[in-house]
Amino acid sequence: MTKDAFPVVVLISGSGSNLQAMIDAQARGELPIEIRATISNDPSAPGLERARRAGIPAIAIDHKQFSSRESFDAALQAEVDRYAPELVVLAGFMRILTPEFVAHYTCRLINIHPSLLPKYRGLNTHQRAIDAGDAEHGTSVHFVTTELDGGPIVIQAHVPVLPADTAQALRQRVQDQEHLIYPLAVRWIAEGRLQCQGNRITLDGKELASPIRYGS
Ligand code: GAR
């Protein structure tokens, strides 16, 4: 383990492109963190291989082997805590977490969601934005509270919805932005610039009245 780097555990369920963005930012010297472990609830998640390639412990805890959400989350929490992270990063972790798990990591649990929250909580956000005829869509980084996709928002990136967009094309445009704003938000936390107290967040000591808009 690297001395003095800010310890992080990343939870994934799938491709892990946001994990990769953090690995790459860290390798470029732009993200002063140590990813101590990556844990997936899906043993076949391609993101586990991304972690292994970067020399990061890659662990699968298959939620299907557990009889309840509570027992899975308890096992997950025990594994996460073995690595003593100061921040737990949800990067495409597609499980609803129990209130006990969320409470255990109050202000130490962060998520990226592919919509301009509070719009489109839950799934299929890209198709929903297209179906609604929205002119713009985007992605949000937020601290996690017990309200699904409802915690205080740190930063959002906006992208246009183009007339010929498919959900896949729109997702790609959104993910390109995710790979910029998620490492940035984690960096602010690692540097102690971004802090959270309950539903209140501050950047450089100033309370955020509204989410930061990336790129403007
Ligand atoms: C990301 O686009 C993230 O916003 C989304 O899953 C994708 C994971 O991609 N998360 C959610 O929908 C959470 N509700 P990745 O595995 O390539 O990072």
Residues 143, 53: Cα–Cα separation, whole Å = 28
Which amino acid is located at 38 in the chain? T
For residue range 15-43, what is the model confidence (pLDDT) as tens digits? 999 999 999 999 999 999 999 999 999 99
CB 102 within 8 A of CB 146: yes
The average confidence (pLDDT) of the chain is 96
CA-proximal residue: ligand 1, atom 17 (nearest): 17
Phi, psi of 53 (to 5 degrees): -60, -30
For residue 143, how far is its CA from the centre of ligand 1 (angstroms)? 15
63, 113, 126, 179: which one is catalytic? 113
pLDDT above 70 as % of the chain? 98
The pLDDT value given to residue 198: 84
CATH number of 6-213: 3.40.50.170
For residue range 101-117, what is the model confidence (pLDDT) as tens digits? 999 999 999 999 999 99
137 belongs to the catalytic site: no
CA-proximal residue: ligand 1, atom 9 (nearest): 92
Q: What is the pTM of this model?
A: 0.97
pLDDT above 90 as % of the chain? 94
Q: What does the pLDDT average to over 174-192? A: 98
Residue in 24, 112, 142 to alter for ligand 1 test, most ligand atoms within 8 A of Cβ:
112
Residue 69: how many CB atoms within 10 A of its CB?
Answer: 15
Residues 107, 151: Cα–Cα separation, whole Å = 10
Phi, psi of 91 (to 5 degrees): -125, 80
Domain boundaries, given as residue ranges, for the chain: 6-213
For residue range 110-167, what is the model confidence (pLDDT) as tens digits? 999 999 999 999 999 999 999 999 999 999 999 999 988 899 999 999 999 999 999 9
Name which residue leads in pLDDT, 87 or 199. 87
User: What torsion, rounded to 10 degrees, do the Cα atoms 50, 54, 58, 63 define?
Assistant: -30
CB 190 within 8 A of CB 31: yes
Q: Residue 216: pLDDT band by 50, 70, 90 thresholds? A: low
Residues 145, 133: Cα–Cα separation, whole Å = 30
195 lines ligand 1 (CB under 6 A): no
Residue 82: how many CB atoms within 10 A of its CB?
Answer: 13
